[in-house]
Amino acid sequence: MKSISSLFFKDIVVEWRNKEAVSSMFMFGVLTLVIFSYAFDPSGTDRSLLTPGILWISFTFAGIIGLNRSLAMEIDNECIQGLLLAPLSRGELYLGKVASNFAFMMIAELLMMPPFVVLNNLTFSFQIIEIIGVAVLGTLGFVSVGTILSMISAHTRMKEVILAVLQIPLTIPVILTSVAATGQILANETEGISYALMMLAGFSIVYLTASYLLFEYVVED
Amino acid sequence: MGKRILGISSVVLMIVALYLIFVYAGVDAAQGEPFRIFYFHVPVLLLSYLSAILLGSACIMFLYNAEAKWDRAGAVAAELGLVFGGTGLISGMMWAKPIWGKYWVWWDVRLNLQLILVLTFAAYLMLRAYLPNQEKRATLSCVFGLLALVNVPFNWLAIYFVPTLQHPKPVVSPGGGGTDPDMAIAFTCSLIAWCLTYSYLFSTRLAVAQVEQEVEYLEQVVRAS
């Protein structure tokens, strides 16, 4: 546990000094929100049907940007060798990376919420807090798959493209469920939403376990 | 020799199946001519599910004993899965246009699961294509294959959150159903023909994959010397 937290704080310190991950994810996410606001008629009556999808498309794209950067940072300066030599198991390395990726993505998503509310003419109400709750579960699922996939794609040529190609098919269940849950919250029909939340939590647990066990095959050198 | 017999018999049986489908079997009362697509659509999709199972087991076997043959088998299963799954999707759309009035519907569970399956096969093959090192390629693609295998139940669950309507019932059900005997014969013949074609393609592609791997190895030796 101590090794995971020190790995986590290492990433936080690096991020605090250069602020690259959160700022790039935030900018990219906001730009996606803006493009969608222009692409779909803002005054249209069906707008409320689109908003959950717009939010999660922005989260997905921003998340892929962040995941790409999180390992590029380690690989560019051969820092990964140092991490592999450090006295911690491969699984702990994975969990530490999940923790920092989750934190950065969550911060970027929180920063993206006000522009989302404003651009889609929603109100700052308790609903937004509920959506953030869904985002916590959805992001954990997204990051639990994404961290191991970003490590896999780091070995390939054209890493950035390959990560997106691997990440999107595997996170379709997370995105579909999160969009459905967000839509339910926005429509004030939250009955039965617990199935969606349980499914998101189950996805995270299963993928955290599977990746924890499989990570040693991915980083062996 | 065995492979040649397999190839010839699959061609012969495919011709017989075509005759049975288009001439022998009667027109479906409810759906008319478009129903004939099902004689191809169902076997092809069943074989794409088989590919997924083969890919999953090959990945498990490779991580268990790291023999290169399992890696090759997984790659071949994924290629055939992409081809058969893609064919199944296209034939499904050809059927859906006259019957449902649309090529694509978002409420149908099986259609969308099939799309995700095809995308996953494509992602697996993309990953392999971009990994230059042979050993790395084998291990990493197997890890991805396993992660994708874990994904299947979640896809089921996720798609059930979207309101769904009924997919046409499976043509061959365990109880036999009320299928017309002529249709059943045509369907069985088509299924066997496709299974033979699949095994012929699988064994041929597997042999080619082995040669490819040897060539790759020899290239490395030549370059090193």
Q: Which of A122, A140, A142 is nearest to A183 (CA)?
A: A122
| Interface check A166 vs B, CB under 8 A | yes
Q: What's the predicted TM-score (pTM) here?
A: 0.87
Query: How many domains does the structure of chain B reveal?
Result: 1
Chain B positions with Cβ closer than 8 Å to A = 63, 116, 119-120, 122-123, 126-127, 130-133, 136, 139-140, 142-144, 146-148, 150-151, 154-155, 157-159, 161-162
Domain residues for the domain of B147 are 2-25+35-168+177-224
pLDDT digits (tens, 9 = 90+) for A150-166: 988 888 888 788 899 99
Asked whether residue B173 carries a pLDDT value surpassing 50, the answer given is no
Instruction: For tokens 């994924």, name the residue.
Output: B78
Rounded distance, CA B77 to CA B85, Å?
11
pLDDT digits (tens, 9 = 90+) for A108-117: 999 999 998 8
pLDDT digits (tens, 9 = 90+) for B122-136: 999 999 999 888 888
Confirm if B198 and B50 have CB atoms less than 8 A apart: yes
Rounded distance, CA A184 to CA A177, Å?
11
Confirm if B14 and B193 have CB atoms less than 8 A apart: yes
pLDDT of residue B206: 92
Is B119's CB within 8 Å of A168's CB?
yes
pLDDT digits (tens, 9 = 90+) for B199-215: 999 999 999 999 998 99
Report if residue B147 sits inside a domain.
Answer: yes
Joined together, the tokens standing for residue B70 give 């399992």
Distance from the B152 Cα atom to the nearest Cα atom in chain A, whole angstroms = 9
Report if residue B30 sits inside a domain.
Answer: no
Asked whether residue A130 carries a pLDDT value surpassing 60, the answer given is yes
Q: How far apart are the first and last CA of chain B?
A: 38
Report if residue B7 sits inside a domain.
Answer: yes
Report if residue B79 sits inside a domain.
Answer: yes
User: Residue B104 has what DSSP assignment?
Assistant: -
Q: Which residues in chain A have their CB less than 8 angstroms from residue B127's CB?
A: 152-153, 156, 162, 165-166
For the ranges A42-46, A138-142, B147-151, the one whose mean pLDDT is highest: A138-142
DSSP B122-159: HHHHHHHHT--SHHHHHHHHHHHHHHHHHHHHHHHHHH
Asked whether residue A40 carries a pLDDT value surpassing 80, the answer given is no
